[in-house]
Structure formats: structure tokens, C-alpha cells
Structure 1
Amino acid sequence: MAELYDLNERPALAPQKPFLGSDDNVIRALIIVSTVLVAWKFYVGLISHVIWEEGHFVLSGEYLALGYPDIPAGFPWLARLVTSIFGWHVLPLRLVALLIATAMPLAVYFMATPIVSRRNALWAAMIALLMPPISLNGTVFYPEGALQLLMALMLSCLIRAIQQDKLKWWALTGVCAALGLLVHFRFMGPGLAVVVFMLANAQGRTLWRKPGVWLTAGIALLGLVPSLIYNAVNAWPAIQFHVLNRPKFQPDFGRVLGYVETQFVLCTPVFFVAMVVAAKNALIRDRNKPESLLGYQAVVIFLFYGLQTIVNKKIMPHWPFMAFVPLLPFIPDLLENFIARASTLGNRRLRTGLIATAPVLTLAIGIAGTAYQVAWNHSAELPYALRERNILKNENWSLLEPALAAADKRAKERFGPDIAWAANSHMSAVHFEFPAIEGVKGRRFYTLDDPNDELTRFVVARQQWGLDLNALTAKQGGKGVMMAVLEPSYIYHELDQMKMYSELCRRFEDIEPFRIVSLPPYKMAIDFYTARVRATPLTGDAPPCAFFPHAYIAHPERGRFINTDDGGNYHGVAADPKGVNAVDVMLDGKVVTRARYGLDPKEFRVPDLLKYDPNWPKLQYDFQFPEGTLKSGEHALAIRATRTDGTTFDSAPRTLYVR
């Protein structure tokens, strides 16, 4: 692929006929490939579980505002429009996303026609169908496809504005930018790249004197104004989340390599290398042409997220995808020249085969993604070994409906018919709220001020909607509540979790653990409780309550995979007002070993709220699985604690997989 750089070498062989022949044949191929992709993505959209963002957009849209804590108003507004017409269902939303994704090749063709030949513009549209970061949009209702489409349209208009200096193109550029900023804050990346182009490029610097540029900027700013107003009057939640809370300043230059490797694989190596060459050509060889702008777009956006990987704990793989859109018009000519410069027939065939790996890898990624969604759809039936491959958090929350109905019934039996529903966080709540049973609109969950809501600032929106913890206790004082709480992994080990549950102990009484339901592939569980809201919340230290388990397994985590010869050291906490004498480890209901109990390591001290146990602070245990006790398969792990009076109590079992 290094020979892509040598554009002056004369071809040693006679030119070969254009692939697919006439432009009409390319158009027919575009239609066929696009149709297959639409059908394929429609199928994936049908079988995929609802992701939490889809519920987030729909629920946010029900409370129309100028913005929201994490995003601008565009997608919630769009969700509101779709659900107002088609009802409380996920499929119409996904069809809208599919329609947006299907328009992408047309936008790429529109972007390419001012700077490349018609045939290469058609092939650029084809590559938009063959490159995974662009072609795989449209299976869920998510902003990425809209951002890419609006970026292609914005650049299409901006290239024409630079070439023709006509008011309509400047205005349309601004409209596309405004819509992009209304969809997501990430659209500030293309705006930043335009500014860099106008500062670093000689041709770009001439734009400062063109009135059209200022018209574009003014119109574009209109897309950001709603978010600015919303944030200004709500203590800047988006700044708190994206700038202050989300980054984890842990410099690690090694992550940059991982960042590049991920994009190299997701784009396919052939397309990625071609885009690197295209960016180099646009910045250097074509720096005096309008298309140089496209190179600046790609480089600025890609470098921006690359630099973030140094100081941020995590960069989502799709964040830099917009960087690839501007380079699509240049790829066909580069790949054609790469083949044309082959010196022998065998070398030509080798190069052709190398380029063919790009669509083949795209097909492989698409098949793997589809298989993944099919596997998620049948997690409970999959052989246990395959569940280890389920790395995404995309459980089927509709499986909780029977437990939800049973918990609601139990709460009404205990406290009467006036029952409110609550979930630990906004992310949990929207899973229950949308699409709900048979697409019923109107189900609402209060949230319990989960630490994640503080981090993401979703608590700001929930307060405005009257669906936060304070609203719940004000409305339901003395009345019943059913709570569905995502089980914390390390409740005694994390201060913010301790703080949350201590506050819940002050707010609720008569708390009854009702049921724990683990969702396939059994890496997460929902704890259902019924309780009464205290008429007056307690002050001071929280009393011991059912939110804090007496038997607690900290490690291994739920759904963990270990080997048959595992020698890991596992641990947890056991406490009781009568005191605990011993802790036994059970696998599938049978005791396999006795833990070492009564530990108080300096690395972690149990909290004061467990002082009710006379052995405090020596309440921790650890254990190892004895040799030969672990057999391949799916198992239920629990502990059994023996009180000083000889009685016992067990922890809730959790799934453990042994390879």
C-alpha cells in the first residue's frame, strides 16, 4: 500500500477496462448494494434490543426543552415528532434512522461532484456503502448517522460556496451546521476544522474577507443557541458532564496506539491507508484548491479525539467516524491509480485482490455484528461459553415485566393502591419507561439520585420533570413505592454508593426485598423492593436497612468467567446483629469450602454502618476455590453465614461461569 504515495510512476501495463463498465452499471450496482443493506439493517433493527439512548431520546422529547444535560434538543425533538405520529414504539424510530443512513450515499455523491469526476463521485457513494463506520448506521435510533449526513451536506455546500461565492451556498452551509449542532455537540468538530483551515491555509485565510462566511457562522450559531440558553439557566450541566465529569485525566500515550489500531480495523486497512494518503494529498499537494478543506476536516477531527485518548480514560470508537466522511471523494482515484501502476499482470491481480479485502472485511464485520445481535436476542439459550463474547450492555429489559408486575402487586397488597414506581437512575428508568408493555405511553419512574445521574447531570432533567427523589418523597409521603434497583457491584467499597443507599434508608421505611432478577447473559441484576415513603425523612446517621445486604460478595463479580484451575483470591463481607462465626462458600447449593472470616485489611475497612455486628470491624472474608471443585459450565455462587446462635443466612446466588 505504500505505493499509493507514488503518483508519478508510469503504468507498465495497458490500461484495464473500468470496473463495472459504464456509469449506468455503477448506478445499478449502487441501487442493488443499497437495497441489500437496507433490508439487512432493517432485519438487525427488528431483532436488536432497545438501547438506553433510544429511551433517553424519547423520554426527553416528552418534556420539550431547549436542551438537555448531555445533548442538544435535536434528537429528543425528532423522537417526539415520530412518537406523536406513530405511537410509543421503537420500530418507527429505527425506520427514521434507517432513512437517514440510506441518504448518506446521495450526500457523498453531492459532496464529491464539485471536486472529482462523475464516475469517481459515484464510486465515492459506493464506498460510503462499503466502509463500516458509515455503512453500518441505521439499525438503532442514534445520532451518528445524522451527524455524518449533515457533515457531508455541509461540506457539499461549503465547497460550492468557496468555488462560486454565492449567497445560497453560504446560507445552506450554515443551515446544515446549525442542524448538526442541534443534533450533537460533536458537530463542533467540523466547525473547529473550518476555523483551522481559515487560519492555517493560504486559501482559507482569504475567506475571512468574504461576507458569506459570516452569514454561515451566524446561521450555524442559531443551532447552538438553544443549548446555550438551556445550559446558562441550569448551571451548565453539559459543561459539567462532558468537560469536568466525563474525562479521567490519566495520561497514557499508549492509548493513542490503541485508538489508531481500532480505527484501522473498523475502517478496514485498505480504506484507512487510502484515507491517510488522501489527507496528506489534500493538505500538501492540493493545498491551493478548495478540496484542501476536506483534508483539514479529517485531520482536525481525527487528531482531536486522538489527543483526548491521552488524558481521557475512554474514547468511544464511533466518535472519530466523522473524520472519514470528507475523504470519501478521493478514495476511488487513489485505489484506481494503485492498480494502474502495477508493473506486471500478477502484480495487478495482487493489488486488485488487496483492494477487494476492504468490502470482504466490511461484509465480515456486518455478519459478525448481525450474529452478535442474534446472540443477544437468544442469550438465555446460548451455550454458556458463547456468553463470554457478550461484551456490550444491551440486555433485554422487557424480560423484567413479569417481575415488575409482581412487585407492583406486592406493594399494593402492603400499602394500598396508590403506588409509585422508582428506579435507581435515569438510565434504568428509561429502560422501563420506553417502550413499555405493548407500546403503552405514560409509564413514569422516579429516580433515586444514583451517583451516575450526578455524574451525567441527568439529575437536572429529572428534577425539572418532577421525577427525582425529592419529588417522590414529597408526593408519596406515607404511601407505598415499588423500586427496581440495578444491583451495585461494590456497595460497601464505593463511597458514593454508600451515600446513596444511606439516604434511601432515611427516606423509606418498611423496606422489603421482593425479588432479584438477573438478565441474560447474567452479568447484571435488578433488585425489586417494596417500601413506604417516610412522611418526614430522617436526619443524621441512617439506620441499618434492607438496602445494605448482610451477606455480600464483592468478588468474583456476577457473570464472571474463570478457569477450572482458578487460583484467584475472592472476598466479601458478612454481618449480623447477633454476630457471625463462619462463612461457607456454596456452588450450586453445595458447600465447597469455608472462607477465612474475621479479616480487617488496611486496604479497605468496612463502614461504620455495620457496627451493629459485635465483631465489627472484623467482618470481611476471603476464599479460594479448592482444587477440583470447579467444573466447566454455568454455576450459582453464594455464601452461607453462620450466626453465633447457630442459625444461618445466605446471600443471593449469582451466576459464575467456568471455562
Structure 2
Amino acid sequence: MRDKDEAQPIRRLFWVLWAAVLLLKLGVVAQLPLFVDEAFYWQEGRHPAAAYSDLPGLTAWLARLGVELGGDHTWALRAPFLAMSALVPWLLARITAREFGERQGWVAGCFGVLLPLSGSLGLLALPDAMMALATLLCLDAGARLLREVDARAAVELAVGLALGALSHYRFIAVIAVGGVVLLCLPEGRRALRDVRVVIAAAIGASAWAPLVAWNMDNADAGLRFQLVDRHPWSFHAEGLWFVAIQALLVTPPLLIALTLAGARGARAASPITRYFALFGSLIVLGFFVLGFFADTERVSFHWPLPGFMALLPLLPGVLAGWPRWARRLTAATAGVALLAILAYYLVVSVPGLRARSAGEKWYPSNFAGWGELADAVRQRQRSMPPGTRIVADNFKVGAELGFALGDPRIAVLDHPINHKHGRAPQLRLWGLQSAGRAEWGAAPVLLVVGATEVEYKNLLRRYHQLCAMVGPLPPPQMLNVDHGRQRFALFALDGAKREGDCTTPAMAWVDAPLPGRKVGREFDVSGWAFKDGVGLARVEIMLDGRVVAQASYGRELPGVRSYWEVSNDPQHPRVGFDAKVRLDAEPPGRHWLGLRLHGRDGSVEDWAEQPIEVRR
């Protein structure tokens, strides 16, 4: 009774935090633009299957359930994932309360809400919410089994293993570590010999059958991507960033507390305490070691979350020995970090705020520009013949346009990022990988190209690959989002056979002034620009979207041609430009410098802008 009385204040705090964070997340979910992976999971959900090239089936099924119940809205797509994430801190509190006392349970639950990695679950329709829930179910079942094997614990284990198997390949780490920890404990070895646990494990293993079958039917394409193709499997020092990144995301005080919880718990007399400590510590340390050999190009900061959740039940015991100011600091820093993550997503949701970040490294390109692109495509469709087919040049554009236009069957050209993200095999299975003009015949096509999805040094080569697939490109409609940080090209192909050299969108570079530099009321602009196939007629200098100077175009720059080896602009090497800009009414401060490129074929293309600072 005394424990319950002492737990009442922290219990009320838990539900206040839980409700407040959930309300904040509901607001963010309703406004946040669709992330590219979410769009592809929506597309997978519109092509029902037991498994897919990148994931097991559960993520796609939940995405389909959300839009079936709520319509084709981003909030509806995310609703099942948000609901699952809301269960995570509550289940964490119940597990901890049963093992260590009710007050400790509500403390662990509060930190389950505040831990940024778990508190932000459900904002996006991604598999992590299901993985977190599956991990806690398995963790809870394991703790029960250490005490006594019964049907309830076995069923919970089977459900957790099945949910995890249907969520992601990465859940294999939870299974492997959980099995090793149980084998290390005498009580765990006893439990593993029980037939009910064996049956539960068999049920969990059977949930991998759809993924195994998919890989057997497709030359292990998914398995090779997840375990071989995406990882260098050679040592690289970037793994050291793991500690700094986790300290930032978990927050330093909380990371220290969880580390102490794992170290102390591993030496505890209680087998259940050792179970939590070893389970959590081995997962976190395992991903730390993996970071020295695995993929560094894609986001992986969330991988250790199952380990941190296993350590949270031990956290109240560590915090109880800290002074009050340290406990409050730990909770406050975690809360501030969670609010910072939610604020980041709010910034992403507001076009004006997002545009201000166009010159920053953290610019959220995977969230940006899709609504503007869909509007431009709809408008362009109205000016093209009825029945015009939309074709995207990569899976991101195809999936995002598909969601916006309600069409999960938008064809996609072969593209390096389709392979980089493991989506090419799935597109081929759906019959959505297009070979280009040879397949389209004389039908009109609106080709939508993501110009910023390729590194700039490879962009011209990509344009020439497009020419090989569809022929010389007509003058593009360029769409610059957020000052051109996100950039698309729309090509209206009328079906007529085009002959001649490869004609591409223009390429350009501003050598001076450099981005972010301070300039006076008068300053010089220089650089180069060219347009393969036809060449450029003139170049104009723009500031904040208006023309402020005419450039002198045609200065010899032989180095440009030698760098862009495939370029066929007939004006090489005379592709340099120079201009003097004289400002009048522009106020001091940040402005955006851009170019307007006039092609000899009549095309007009606005180049991406870069920030400059105008002095008083």
C-alpha cells in the first residue's frame, strides 16, 4: 500500500507527460510532409504481398490499413504507427512495475516517453514502432520465463517474435541477443528446454517464412541488400561517431545513467536484473561495433533503441542514488531533446521555415518539394493530350507522386538510387521499371526527373543516360523548391521521334561570390554555364527571384570541358560568364543569388540559388 501511495504523484506525472507528448505528436503528424520511405510503404500497401524486397509485410499492411480507414492523408497513413508507439511507454511501465515496484515502473515509463528515440516513435509510418513494441513483448516474456514457464509467457513470446519477424530484418539482433542472454543464465536454459517455449520459438520462426520465400524466389535480393550490398564490411573510423550521436540523441546524463544501469545490472544477484542488463548492453555494444564495418550513408542512429529500452527498467534504481538536481537534470535534458526533435519536424512542415534552411547541411530533402511537384505535374498534365502517361526517373519521385495523385502504378526508369535503397527488385516485380521510349512507343509521356537525387558531379552523365533511354530531351520545365535545394525537371514528350545529339538541361556554377560570402552594394559575379546539344544564348544574374544584371557570356574556360568529359555543348570552351551587379533598394542582410539561363533552343531555366550577405 505504501508503495502505491508513493507512486501516485509519479503515476500522475506519467499520464500528463504521455498525453502531452501524444497531443504534440498528433499535431506534427497532421502537418508533416510525407517522407520518401513512407510513400514507398504506401505503394507497397497498394500491392498486397506477404513480403517485399526491402521489408517484411507488416509495415505495408499497416500503411494500407491506415489509408483504408482514414483516406489518402498523411495522418491516416501514420495513425496505426502512432497508436503502436503510444503503447510502448505504458508497456515499459508495467514491465518495470512488476519486477521492481510500482513507483519504479512509472519512473521508467516517464523516461520511455522522454527518451527522444522512443518518444518520437510513430511520427512517421516506419517499422521502428512495431519493432519497439515487439522488443518489449519479447523482453517481458523472457523476464516471466526466468521466474516460471507458463502458457501466458509462451504466448507473449510467440506474439513478440512474430511481430518482430514481420517488421524488419534488423529484429534478428533482438532474437540473437535474447537467445544468448537466456543461454547464459541457468534459469534461461531451464526455460528454453520447456516444450511451450520451443513451440513459441517455432511460431516466431514461422513468421519469417514469407520473407524467406520472397528471397528464395528472387535470388536472395532482399537478404543480399540488407546484409551484403549496403555494407562495406571493411573497417572505417566513422564508427567512433556512434558515441557522440547517441549522446546527442539519448542526451549525456541519460546515456551515463543507462550505461551505469547496464554495468551494475550485469553484476547483480537477481537473474532478471542481469537479464535486462545483458540484453540491453549487448544490443547497444553490438551496434557500436557494427558501426565500424557497416553502412554509413543511411540513417542508423535509431538502431540501438531496443537495447536502451531493455535498460530503462533498471534506470530508476540508478537515479535513486543520485542527488535531486542530477535526477531533474536528466529528465529535463531528455525532455528538451525530445522537444527539439518535434520542433525539427515542425520546421520541416512549414515551407517558409524549411526554405531558410536551404543553405544548411541538415536541409530535409526527403520531406521537401513533393506537394509543389504534384501541383506542377497536375498543371502540366492539363496542357498535354488526354491519356498522357506519367513516368518518374526514380522510386522516390514515383512513390511521392503516386501518393499525391492516387496512382500506385507510376512507372519508374532505372536509376542508381533504386538499387542503393533496395527498391529496384520490387519495381521489377510490379512491372513498374520502364525501359524508356522503346516501351512507350508514340504515346505522349510526362517524364518527371529528380535533378537533385544525383550528386552534381554525376548529374550530366545521368542526363545522358536519360537521352539513351528516351532520346534528346525537349526544353524542360524546371521546378526549384526552397531556392533550388530540391530541384525537378519536367519533360513533355509528345511521342514524336527526336533525332540529333543528346540535349539536356543546362549546367552551371557560380565561382564568385562563394555561398554565404559578404558582398557590398556593388559586386562581381563569375562562373560558367553550358547546355548540351544546343548551347546557351545568354546568362542573367538574379537576386531574390528578379533579374539584376546581364552577364557577359563566352569567356574561354577549357577546364570545364575537360572536367565534364561527356559534354557536347557546341560552344566549348567559351562557356564562362562575368557580370557586375549594382544594387539599389535591396536592404542589407541575407539574399539569394541565382542565374537565369537562356538556351539557343528557346528554353529558359532558373538555376539553383545560393545565399549571400549584403553589407550596409
**Normalising by structure 2, what TM-score?**
0.86
Q: Matches of 1:492 and 1:531 in 2, distance apart?
A: 25
Secondary structure of the corresponding residue to residue 518 of structure 2: coil
Residue type matched to 1:607 in 2?
Answer: E
**Corresponding position: 1:290 with 2:272:** yes
Given candidates 263, 268, 274, the residue that maps to 2:246 is: 263
**Corresponding position: 1:479 with 2:443:** yes
Does the 8 A contact of 1:73 with 1:183 survive in 2? yes
Does the 8 A contact of 1:112 with 1:121 survive in 2? yes
Alignment of 1:132-281 (within 5 A): 132-198=116-182, 200-201=184-185, 204-206=188-190, 209-248=193-232, 251-253=235-237, 255-281=238-264
Does the 8 A contact of 2:122 with 2:129 survive in 1? yes
Given candidates 320, 323, 344, the residue that maps to 1:336 is: 320
Secondary structure of the corresponding residue to residue 389 of structure 2: strand
Residue type matched to 1:468 in 2?
Answer: Q
**Greater shift after overlay, 203-212 or 621-630?**
621-630
**Corresponding position: 1:466 with 2:431:** yes
**Corresponding position: 1:456 with 2:404:** no
Q: 1:37 deviation in Å?
A: 1.6
**Greater shift after overlay, 398-407 or 576-585?**
576-585
**Greater shift after overlay, 86-95 or 592-601?**
592-601
Residues 614-658 of structure 1, C-alpha deviation per residue, up to 9 Å, x if partnerless?
74xx57759999999997423242276899xxx998753221112
Given candidates 375, 382, 389, the residue that maps to 1:420 is: 389
Q: Matches of 1:521 and 1:20 in 2, distance apart?
A: 57
Residues 163-182 of structure 1, C-alpha deviation per residue, up to 9 Å, x if partnerless?
10224422321221111110
Alignment of 1:559-578 (within 5 A): 561-564=515-518, 574=530
Q: Matches of 2:430 and 2:355 in 1, distance apart?
A: 43
Does the 8 A contact of 1:71 with 1:184 survive in 2? yes
Secondary structure of the corresponding residue to residue 337 of structure 1: coil
Q: 1:87 deviation in Å?
A: 2.3
Q: Match of 1:529? A: 491
- The CA RMSD over aligned residues, in Å, is 3.8
Classify 1:565/1:309 alpha carbon distance in 2 versus 1 (closer, same or farther; 3 Å).
farther
Residue type matched to 2:382 in 1?
Answer: K
Q: Match of 1:520? A: 482
Q: Matches of 1:634 and 1:337 in 2, distance apart?
A: 54
Residues 503-527 of structure 1, C-alpha deviation per residue, up to 9 Å, x if partnerless?
4324435743342112236411111
Q: Match of 2:329? A: 357
Q: 1:75 deviation in Å?
A: 0.7
Residues 223-243 of structure 1, C-alpha deviation per residue, up to 9 Å, x if partnerless?
211111111111222223223
Residues 190-242 of structure 1, C-alpha deviation per residue, up to 9 Å, x if partnerless?
11212332455555455554434432321111221111111111122222322
**Corresponding position: 1:392 with 2:364:** yes
Q: Match of 1:410? A: 383
Residue type matched to 2:242 in 1?
Answer: Y
Q: Match of 1:434? A: 403
Classify 1:364/1:607 alpha carbon distance in 2 versus 1 (closer, same or farther; 3 Å).
same
Given candidates 78, 87, 96, the residue that maps to 2:80 is: 96
Q: 1:334 deviation in Å?
A: 1.4
Does the 8 A contact of 1:86 with 1:92 survive in 2? yes
Does the 8 A contact of 2:142 with 2:157 survive in 1? yes
Q: Match of 1:347? A: none
Q: 1:426 deviation in Å?
A: 1.1
Q: Match of 1:553? A: 508
Classify 1:467/1:265 alpha carbon distance in 2 versus 1 (closer, same or farther; 3 Å).
same
Q: Match of 2:609? A: 655
Q: Matches of 2:272 and 2:355 in 1, distance apart?
A: 56
Does the 8 A contact of 1:586 with 1:593 survive in 2? no
Q: 1:245 deviation in Å?
A: 2.9
Classify 1:576/1:144 alpha carbon distance in 2 versus 1 (closer, same or farther; 3 Å).
closer
Secondary structure of the corresponding residue to residue 35 of structure 1: helix
- The percentage of aligned residue pairs carrying the same residue is 18
Q: Matches of 2:333 and 2:234 in 1, distance apart?
A: 34
Residues 392-441 of structure 1, C-alpha deviation per residue, up to 9 Å, x if partnerless?
222142123331122212332xxxx22110111111111111144xxxx4
Residue type matched to 2:508 in 1?
Answer: I
Given candidates 307, 310, 323, the residue that maps to 2:292 is: 310
Alignment of 1:608-623 (within 5 A): 608=566, 610-611=567-568, 613=570, 615=572, 618=573
Q: 1:593 deviation in Å?
A: 7.5
Classify 1:446/1:161 alpha carbon distance in 2 versus 1 (closer, same or farther; 3 Å).
same
Does the 8 A contact of 1:153 with 1:176 survive in 2? yes
**Corresponding position: 1:301 with 2:283:** yes
Residue type matched to 2:400 in 1?
Answer: H
Residue type matched to 1:371 in 2?
Answer: A
**Greater shift after overlay, 185-194 or 236-245?**
236-245
Classify 1:180/1:443 alpha carbon distance in 2 versus 1 (closer, same or farther; 3 Å).
closer
Q: Matches of 1:527 and 1:460 in 2, distance apart?
A: 25
Q: Match of 1:78? A: 62
Classify 1:469/1:649 alpha carbon distance in 2 versus 1 (closer, same or farther; 3 Å).
closer
Does the 8 A contact of 2:138 with 2:161 survive in 1? yes
Count matched residues.
601
Does the 8 A contact of 1:505 with 1:543 survive in 2? no
Give unpaired runs (5+ residues) of structure 2. none
Classify 1:568/1:430 alpha carbon distance in 2 versus 1 (closer, same or farther; 3 Å).
farther
**Corresponding position: 1:115 with 2:99:** yes
Q: Matches of 1:65 and 1:99 in 2, distance apart?
A: 23
Q: Match of 2:341? A: 369
Classify 1:383/1:499 alpha carbon distance in 2 versus 1 (closer, same or farther; 3 Å).
closer
Classify 1:620/1:612 alpha carbon distance in 2 versus 1 (closer, same or farther; 3 Å).
closer
**Normalising by structure 1, what TM-score?**
0.81
Q: Matches of 2:496 and 2:188 in 1, distance apart?
A: 65
Q: 1:354 deviation in Å?
A: 2.0
Classify 1:121/1:501 alpha carbon distance in 2 versus 1 (closer, same or farther; 3 Å).
same
Q: Matches of 1:422 and 1:613 in 2, distance apart?
A: 30
Does the 8 A contact of 2:257 with 2:315 survive in 1? yes
Q: Matches of 1:580 and 1:402 in 2, distance apart?
A: 29
Residue type matched to 1:159 in 2?
Answer: A
Q: Matches of 1:505 and 1:520 in 2, distance apart?
A: 27
**Corresponding position: 1:597 with 2:556:** yes
Q: Matches of 2:474 and 2:259 in 1, distance apart?
A: 60
Q: Matches of 1:41 and 1:256 in 2, distance apart?
A: 31
Residue type matched to 1:553 in 2?
Answer: A
Residues 82-119 of structure 1, C-alpha deviation per residue, up to 9 Å, x if partnerless?
22233222222323222112111221123224421222
Secondary structure of the corresponding residue to residue 38 of structure 2: helix
**Greater shift after overlay, 158-167 or 588-597?**
588-597
Q: 1:313 deviation in Å?
A: 2.4
